[in-house]
Amino acid sequence: MSTFTVVNPANEEAIAEVELADVDATDAAIAKAQTAFDEWRKVAPGDRARLLRRFADAVDGAIDELAALEVANAGHTISNATWEAGNVRDVIEYFAAMPERLFGRQIPVDGGVNITFAEPLGVVGVIVPWNFPMPIASWGFAPALAAGNTVVLKPAEITPLTAIRIGELAREAGIPEGVLTIIPGKGSVVGERFVTHPAVRKIVFTGSTEVGKRIMAGCAAQVKNLTLELGGKNSNIVFDDADIAAAAAAAPGGVFDNSGQDCCSRSRLLVQRGIYDEFMAALEESVGDFAAADPTLPDTAMGPLVTAAHRDKVASYVAAGEVAFRGTAPEGPGFWFPPTVLTPASTSTADFTEEIFGPVLSVVPFDTEADALRIANDTEYGLSGSIWTNSLDRAMRVSRGVEAGNLSVNSHASVRYWTPFGGFKQSGLGRELGPDAVASFTEVKNVFFATRPGE
């Protein structure tokens, strides 16, 4: 096996060496998960729920440890990382309520009784991105385990540390060996083997639309189940009847949180022309208050980007754009990039149409409600977005009109573990979280019992 050197993006110091699995190691992990599935699916629903609650308790006891790992490994701020670790706990606890609630149905038929069962799929391969290593891992493995599946999980090559520790916590909580296996490795090796191995009956992938398309094509060869959460180029629409001060104060958090490394980032800001100048003046002040700084400090708003290569990619968009104003970021070691606001001359520029995945906001004016919807929907993506207005009628019309799976009115909150999450168009396939997520980890089996045999 080869190894990977994990680097702290805030100071560029090496913090760990992680072994990367090859194809043989991946096959061995899948075989172990397949063996474990035979027993895990037979665990009584109440007992499976109890084990998941113990798992949630183990994560709860390690919140500070997991948060510190994420700060060091991914450059997340300590406040964000603490929330993310708590989200893992909450997601596991939420889905711990599902094993006893995997209900079937009794359907009226002639000549007998017809019932349905929710049967687990088998081994589920979860492929996790580097931008939110902890929460997104749990969004995949928690409902899968609750439904009676076993999971092999590949963290992103550059951010594996919290996933490895979560896997250890599962074993410490009593989750049997092979039920949740963490396999660090390259996507081209481990992830590809998840797609091609016939024992893996579902893939859960979060990442770029480009890679998601390749995974989808690979899964077609075996008609393999699939959940995809892919890219986003999301709009924050501010109408002239909105609370301008509140909208301007909230805008930086909607795009720059996690240094803009978020599929839900509201990286396109649409402002109605009549309030454009007033809004931009307020936005410049709020961006100035949203500084990148040491992520270990509790009041830091934004940390570094994840790698030097990603920083260079983000910088290329700014170099080609029209900079209106910028915030601040540290100098010296670390993959730092200041929050930046662009004012493109049209809605066809690269910064306005492509997912930058960094702390870059592009602002354009619009005239009418129809104009705002046209601009917002002129994208291959459809993940999230925000609408700022004090008109309930307008909020309803525009929220129905925007082609996206997760919208917020007078807010940027996109994700709650008890509500569905997923995208339209090329932003994904299927839904994670919420009461229906566990259904995507089961097959419906229909059984007819004849009450008059032979008829």
Catalytic residue IDs:
229, 263
Q: What are the tokens at 83?
A: 């929330």
In DSSP terms, which residues pair with 123 in a beta bridge?
150, 200
Q: Which amino acid is at 192?
A: E
Query: Hunting for tokens 């307020």 — which residue is that?
Result: 282
Instruction: Go through 30-46 and write b for each residue having 16 or more CB atoms within 10 A of its CB, e for each that does not.
Output: bebbbebbeebbebeee
Provide the 8-state DSSP code for 452. S
- Helix (H) / strand (E) element for 15: namely strand 14-20
The C-alpha atoms of residue 309 and residue 214 are separated, in whole angstroms, by: 23
Pure H helices in 343-453: 350-353, 369-377, 392-401
- In order of 30, 56, 107, 163, 294, the CA distances from 78 in angstroms are 34, 20, 51, 17, 9
Query: Kindly report the CA angle at 134 between 181 and 167, in degrees rounded to 5?
Result: 25
- Cα torsion 406, 408, 411, 415 to 10°: value is -30
The C-alpha atoms of residue 216 and residue 222 are separated, in whole angstroms, by: 11
Number of H helices, E strands in the chain: 14, 18
Q: Is 325 in a helix, a strand, or coil? A: strand
The C-alpha atoms of residue 407 and residue 47 are separated, in whole angstroms, by: 37
Q: What are the tokens at 232?
A: 């986003």
- Residue 133, Cβ density class (10 Å: 0-12 exposed, 13-18 middle, ≥19 buried): buried
How many residues are present in the chain? 455
The answer to whether 174 and 29 are in contact (CB under 8 A) is: no
